[in-house]
Structure 1
Amino acid sequence: MQPEPPYHVFPRARKKTLMYLAAIAGMFSSLSANIYFPALGQISREIKVSPPTLSLTVTVYMVVQAVAPSFWGPLSDTKGRRVTFIGTFVVYLVANLGLALSSSFAPLMILRGLQAAGSAATISIGQGLIADIATPSERGSFTGTNQGIRMFGQAIGPVFGGIISQYLGYHAIFWFLFGGGVIALLILVVFLPETLRPIAGNGSICLKGIHRPLYYRFTPSEEHLIEYNLPPKKNFRLSMIFTPFQLLLEKDVFTIIVFGSIVYGIWSMVTSSTTALFQTRFGLSDLQVGLIFLPNGIASMVGSYVTGKHSKHDWAVMECRYREAKGIPPSTVLLKKDLVDFPYGRTRLRSIWWLLPIFIVSTALYGFSLQLNRLAVPLVAQFFISYTANSIFALNSTLVVDLFPRASASATAVNNLVRCLVGAGGVAIVQVVIDAIGAGPTFAMWAGIISLLTPLLFLQWRNGTRWAIERNERNAAKEREKARGDVEKIEVIELST
């Protein structure tokens, strides 16, 4: 009997390098969204549109950011991570070139949508790459670190946006993004190999053509173990664009995505309203507006990274309990077939019970803290909101991939879809609500809403494992039925000949 091959043959250091490459690509999504905020006042004055009208460009960006991965995700799950990364960056570069050359509202709104179409899917493709190379025990740490690096764009974007717009004008922002995109695309073309398992296996398959990075031509070939039972390769069909939506019919997926999306919507409203709330109240310049985004950005990085590291500890604790319950000795390697009833939901959500109260209290107090006219107080509240929100995002993203590791990019795409649609809706209405009832009641109301949705987490905690087992049994029954049908077809053909 042949030994079970490793999940992936690359050493951990090389896996982390690939994860870093995916994170650099994914950073352009948050960077492109947030570098724009400090320049909103300048753009509004120069193209002569009101701030509420200009905010439509933010809403359009988020709507396209939600929808675009539904196309790129299935393409990534069928044609490969590398080729899809390259395609998204080509679209991104075209959009930034157009934005750098346009000076009116209509092209700005259209091209911001195209910019989102090129940058947003890098996140779901990166999650797909992590699922390709990382074992479940590594996945939480890799996802958290990946998100932390991506959130570097969240931290530095507004600062760079403020500096560039104040001294060079807002057009220079898009030239900056164009130049950064060219560098990132070259790095991916030269260094990123294909990782999609039906194409690359567990890293042991010899890559050819577009799947082979340029640097392989200058390095000696490596001897790997042979991959057994290579997963079947799927062909891309336009109907696959709708496949991610079907995942929302799964109860465990629905509960965790809906809850995470409301958290994302609240965080998006806090972030997008910062310029209007702070610039007028505290009399800040574009550069100073960029700097006040730092607590939010730094917290998003730290929260993602720390949660990723803590997820590794949570996995170790739950794995130990699982082994004790099943009588599996510590020396036995747990294979995929051994984890069919593993409590993924409880493993990933262990930390959410202390993160969520901090998020709710910080959000409830945030709007009222602005009335104190002390700049530091609302910024501290923003730090805690961002830290806890991004920690919840990291747990949420890891769990979604755990539930659908073989369609990880598509699963991440539907997660992204619901998140960004909720975020876009929140961004579209937040200033209107603030103008109507004030910042304090607005954010206190959202803190109350997320509190009322907490039972969704209890449903996932209590029933998530059972729901996953039932889905796996249904899928196994369908595969057996399909195999039986294939055998019958072969028998008919043999009889006819």
Structure 2
Amino acid sequence: MASDNEENNSRPGSALATEPYSIFDRRQKGLIVFLVATAATFSGFASNIYFPALGTIADDFHVTVELINLTVTSYLIFQGLAPSLWGPLSDVKGRRVAYFFTFLVFLGACVGLAESKNYATLIILRSLQSSGSASTIAVGSAVIGDITTREERGGYMGIFQAGLLAPVAVGPVIGGALAASLGWRSIFWFLTIYGGIFLIILILSLPETLRSTVANGGVNPSSLVAKYPLNLYQKLTKVKFTPQPQPPKPTKRAKIDVIGPIRILFSKQAISLILFLAIYYAVWQMSITAMSVLFEERYNLSETQIGLTFIANGAGSIIGTLVTGRILDADYRRVKSKYEAPMSEVGSEAGSDRTPPTELDELNFPLEKARLRLLPILALLQCASIVTFGWTTQYRVHISVPIITTFFTGWTVVSIVSVVTTYLIDIFPEQKAASSASVNLARCLLAAGGTSIVTLIINAVGVGWTFTIAIAAQLVALVLVGIQWRFGSKWRVDADRARRQTEKEEQ
């Protein structure tokens, strides 16, 4: 479990007291975050670039828009399921191995989609495409967890989220332009070319960061896959470090724990926050899935124009997560300084019978106050933007109004994802990719259900009431944040004690 174990190597008396948490300097960390954020764009591109062409594809395959919406649903289902395999794989075999195989799956699916001849092939290959692309988010989050401490993690996660969300802004624009000029199949040829070029760049530029393999990056691994380009980063870094021997082989062979993300999802420490996030993410996906058809029917927009309407949503997502990342870091430093002040006084009191700070004190660090303060504000702002989107679209208010609401919806929901993901990486430091995969599992499966029925609900009760019902569910979900705030610290302590007891029994 979490305490500040990731910073233990800076404590006096530690075997690694003089060693940095990561040997990568600021410039190198920036490059690594850029690479993993760009890798994560493929999930968003493959999803969002597709939206402006939904009506065209339905006409081409002679099926209803509702059936084409099911390809969005299948994409979301596998976007949730696939990281449960690739995330644990990267936690055991390494980040580079996971990236290589996920991109191979993605590229194969893109070629097949470009040549698909019927609806059945389309829905199967969209699922396969999602299985490859979606896992880049879980693995990328884990890479950032590998190279950053808690104090800087929020900012880097903000940059990562901003990078991976760029497709939300530009994906539909590119998709609309390609579908209008070259046909919808050109969308998948574009993804094939883009993916193939980037895979080569990734192999040449991204170092292995899995800490069980390379520690803080100062290890010279025997595996060729892990050795390059890590050795170049070691030569060029400005951080002083001592080359370390390879970590000793564990007494037990590490297993790829496919059900690890499911255990995290249903653990007391995580389930409240993940369910809260999943509900807000699902409502967001429902709104942007419905947006294409609503703007076409109610405002008579073309494919290219529909693509342009997604820019506001993407811009809000990018700006919001960058700002939120900085606030997360500032909040953490503020809470940590308040927490450490009385702790230092304990150690300096002459003749005091009070116990000096211990690892349990660190485990009791008020992490919930440091990470979760923003969630109610973000949640209420998203509720306001969603209900405004619903009713202004219902009454065909000038299109600028619903478009502006999507800016704030994008800002808030992606900031919520950033906050919760950062918190989970903090409390599950040995299962970084698995914890991110657990978030994907819940949010994508719930979003899949939402997108599959949103058109049916709109047809039954109208756009305004559809999203009014949605925000009612969101307001109820706010209670889950309160539960985590109240009991989160106790649950972390209990889980750590249980883990220690299990380890003693196994010895």
Structure 1 and Structure 2 fold alike (TM over 0.5): yes
- Root mean square deviation, CA, Å: 2.3
Contact 1:78 1:235 (C-alpha < 8 Å) held by counterparts: no
Paired position in structure 1 for 2:123: 109
- 2:401 is the counterpart of 1:401: no
2-structure distance, mates of 1:107, 1:236: 37
What residue in structure 1 maps to residue 468 of structure 2?
444
In structure 2, relative to structure 1, the CA distance for the partners of 1:360 and 1:335 (3 Å cut) is: farther
Q: CA deviation at 1:236?
A: 5.3
Say yes or no: does 1:185 pair with 2:199: yes
1:11-410 maps to which residues of 2 (within 5 A)?
11-207=25-221, 208-213=223-228, 216=231, 224-227=241-244, 230=247, 235=253, 237=255, 240-327=257-344, 339-370=362-393, 371-410=395-434
- Deviation per residue, 1:8-38 (Å, 9 max, x gap): 1211221221111111101110111000000
| Shift in CA distance, 299/83, structure 1 to aligned 2, threshold 3 Å | same
Alignment match, 2:493: 469
- TM (norm. structure 1) is 0.92
Task: Report the Cα distance in structure 1 between the residues aligned to 2:123 and 2:254, rounded to whole angstroms.
Answer: 30
* Contact map agreement 2:141 2:436 (CA 8 A) in 1: yes
Give the letter for the 1:195 counterpart.
Answer: T
C-alpha distance in structure 1 between counterparts of 2:494 and 2:246, whole Å: 25
- Contact persistence 2:214–2:246 (CA under 8 A): no
User: Structure 1 residue 41: deviation in Å?
Assistant: 1.0
CA distances 1:451-494 after superposition (whole Å, capped 9, x unpaired):
112111111111111111111111111112222xxxxxxxxxxx
Give the secondary structure class of the aligned counterpart of 2:495.
helix
The gaps in structure 1 that reach 5 residues or longer are 484-497
> Deviation at 1:220?
5.2
| Aligned-partner Cα distance in 1 for 2:422–2:245 | 26
- Structure 2 residue runs without a partner (length 5+): 1-12, 348-356
CA contact (8 A) 1:96 1:175 kept: yes
Contact 2:217 2:230 in 1 (8 A): no
Relative to structure 1, the CA distance from residue 463 to residue 302 in structure 2 (aligned partners, 3 Å threshold; closer, same or farther) is same
The alpha-carbon distance between structure 1 residues 329 and 316, as it changes in their structure 2 partners (threshold 3 A), is farther
Distance in 1, matches of 2:341 and 2:248, equals 31
Aligned 8 A contact 1:365 1:444 in 2 = no
Distance 1:328 1:130, change over 3 A: farther
Q: 1:324: how far off? A: 2.0
Match of 1:434 in 2: 458
Instruction: Say which SS state the counterpart of residue 218 (structure 2) adopts.
Output: coil
Q: Is the 8 A contact 1:191 1:214 kept in 2?
A: yes
One-letter amino acid of the counterpart of residue 323, structure 2: V
Offset from partner CA, 1:264-301 (integer Å, 9 cap, x none): 00100011111111111111111001001111111111
Aligned to 1:454: 478
Shift of 1:6: 2.1
Q: Percent identity?
A: 36
Q: Retained in 2: the 8 A contact 1:74–1:236?
A: no
Counterpart contact for 1:198–1:232, Cα < 8 Å: no
Partner of 1:495: none
Aligned residues: 480
Q: In 2, are the aligned partners of 1:323 and 1:329 still within 8 Å (CA)? A: no
Q: Secondary structure at the match of 1:241?
A: coil
Q: Alpha carbons of 1:335 and 1:381: their partners in 2 closer, same or farther (altered >3 Å)?
A: farther
Q: Distance in 1 between matches of 2:360 and 2:488?
A: 18
